[in-house]
Chains A and B, each alone.
Chain A
Amino acid sequence: MGKRVLLIEDEPNIIEAISFILSRDGFTVHTHEDGETAMEKVRATPPDMIILDVMLPGRSGFDILRDLRADPITAGLPVLMLTARGQTKDRDLAERLGADHFMTKPFSNSEVRDHVRAVLEA
């Protein structure tokens, strides 16, 4: 059983792509599409790492990140943030809120894979 990655993302094709890449590399990928219930999902089955989209229905990725960092149990979880908006403003905000890494869509598959490997296999 590989390390568990929780992918919080609402675009089905992107979910499928990231799941495919990481599964092939031996990680277990869980997915969740709704921003509002994301924290419950994290608490129910704590992953080893989270990949978090910014634009989510219900609740934004930034709000979820803030909650993660505020909760002692999840505060140390590695978080990779993805955004399609591509503004430096978003990058700055993500860093300030304590994201470990920030990627702008479209990303290359290897970029995602290498980062997840670096975090989970160190």
Chain B
Amino acid sequence: MTLRCIAPLILLLSLCSFVYAQQDTSFNSVITLREVMVQPDTRLSNRKEKKQGPDLQLSTDQLLESIAGVNMIRRGSYAWEPTIRGLNAGQINTTISGMAVFGACTDRMDPASSYIEPNNLQTISVNYGPGDQASGSSIGGGFNFKLKQPRLGNEKKLTGLAGIGYETNAHALQTLAALEYSSARFAIRGNGIFRRAGNYRIGGGELMPFSQYNKWNGGVSARYKLSSHQYVQADYLQDEGWNIGYPALLMDVAYARAKIGSFSYWYQPHSRSVHSWETKLYLNAIHHAMDDTRRPKEQVPMHMDMPGTSATAGFYSEIKWNSQTIHQVTTRLSGYRNRLHAEMTMFPDGGAPMYMLTIPDAQRTRIGVDISDKLAITNRLALITGIRADYDRSSIYTSSGEQQLSGMHEGELNRGDVLYNAYINGKYRLTDRWQLFGNFARAMRSATLQELYGFYLFNRTDGYDYMGNPRLAGEKSWNLSAGAEFQKEKIKIEGQTFLYLFSDYITGKPVSGYSVMTMGATGVKRYANLSSAILYGAEATLNAQLLSFLNIKSINTYTRGEDGDGHALPLIAPFKTVNTATATWRGYRLGAESVISGAQRHVSREAYGETAGEGYSIVNASLGKTFDAGARRWDINLALTNIFDSYYYEHPDILQLPRPGRSMAIHLTLEF
């Protein structure tokens, strides 16, 4: 984004301060600055989990991994890529407080979730389909990371948090702090974290080279109350990572930088028609550069520079309508423009440097309308229905980008797509103990800019260079799910099965007559539509307060997918069961956790380059204690992970990269 783009935005910002806005009421105010709420599928099944004090010292990736149905793809210690029921990349949406954010790396080294820290967050909400919180058309749902809101009129004017943590494996060190000032009309909050880690040791003790990382992240949010009905808020977040190793890939990362800013305006008239109205304008820019200079010479046949940028400007305006009937309608108008630029310069020994655009200046402009209606039909039956229409304009915004693609694609590169998403979620209370729920949705997504315009993007898993295809049809699916919940006193059991029927499933097909760009690559694939694919599975969770001090929790997930040619879909985690027992007594917490994963034999080497993966079993334990000292609260937490030092990996991990072996972490947190 150039200055020329920013200037009219400032103008727009000042104009929009005359526009009414609204008070956000979607989450209540019990959430304090030391917590982050993880909410899978909130409105439907009301599962939510508060992560407290010491959990702020976990990474966003670790928090995501604890959610049922979410599996992470690891390429190293840093920036794991989330999947929801095996769906990933363009099949799921990631937003930060409703803002569209897209990673800049062509090799998926920087999912948007890598630019935020739990310390920034109020809630992480997960959707498993095009539900009422997904911001944008999507097949597999998505994540919304809601940034922590400064609180007006808090009892204590000044609150804060400071923490320090150390982990033996990788000698990971981190410090974090947050401070909030609150008055009746004005509140401001700042937070920061610094993390660094060396190379970790895998199960068995071997060192994993190039698994280090360094990062800092800081955020400031300020809210000002203009009148009893309206207030404004500005948020700014900056995240900078450097010297980050990706042992599963051929290159590391020199830097990954994100600057994310927004301005919001709330209007909360509590009138008969409008309950609240929120309007937000935002900008974000991500700069990312791959780096091979730290790798030994024999691993680098040719030095190359591969920087990429992603810039997004957008807005949304959401109104919650009041109604005297059973309807509770929310409408939302949103739009953004995202520009991606990625390039590669190769430096052969004794030859001239070679330059190319790997994402040849591609942009997407989206404008969408979303209407959802929450109906309380009877006190037993509730429905949430919604439709969403998006118009996507995808194009190449420079002539050098068009010229780069002129040798690959004939005809028009620019295209427009209209997408419709519709869903109906139902919940029926059978008895006081039993509740049934189901979901039926029609979902569509546009092909990503990488899938449309990518230029020799290397996929490490199957070893192919991928070419975009501007003629791709959007991917579509019918999503069905059904489940039941049983709740009796302190036991809650929930089970759910799901089925996704895809048409125009987007995948890569080998093309002949193309020579590979990446040295050692197997061949070249071009993105293509496959007539069909199927994905199905089940999730079951149990939560029981067995004794007053003892809680047990069990999360069990299974997913299986197959494309129309009979090949197993990639990046699908096998059966996994996570069982946790937590005892709390006089401020002490004692936890034990077992994670067991089955082997994944349902893989397709031919189509997706995956190899069968072994199962594993690991055991974790933790001990914590909270001390209250007047207005201050100290928390110390000791966590022992992978106690038996097992060698293991999750199936979606790239090239079956082994995960860390035994490690002990100590976290000390002070809240005031």
Asked if A and B are interacting partners, one says no
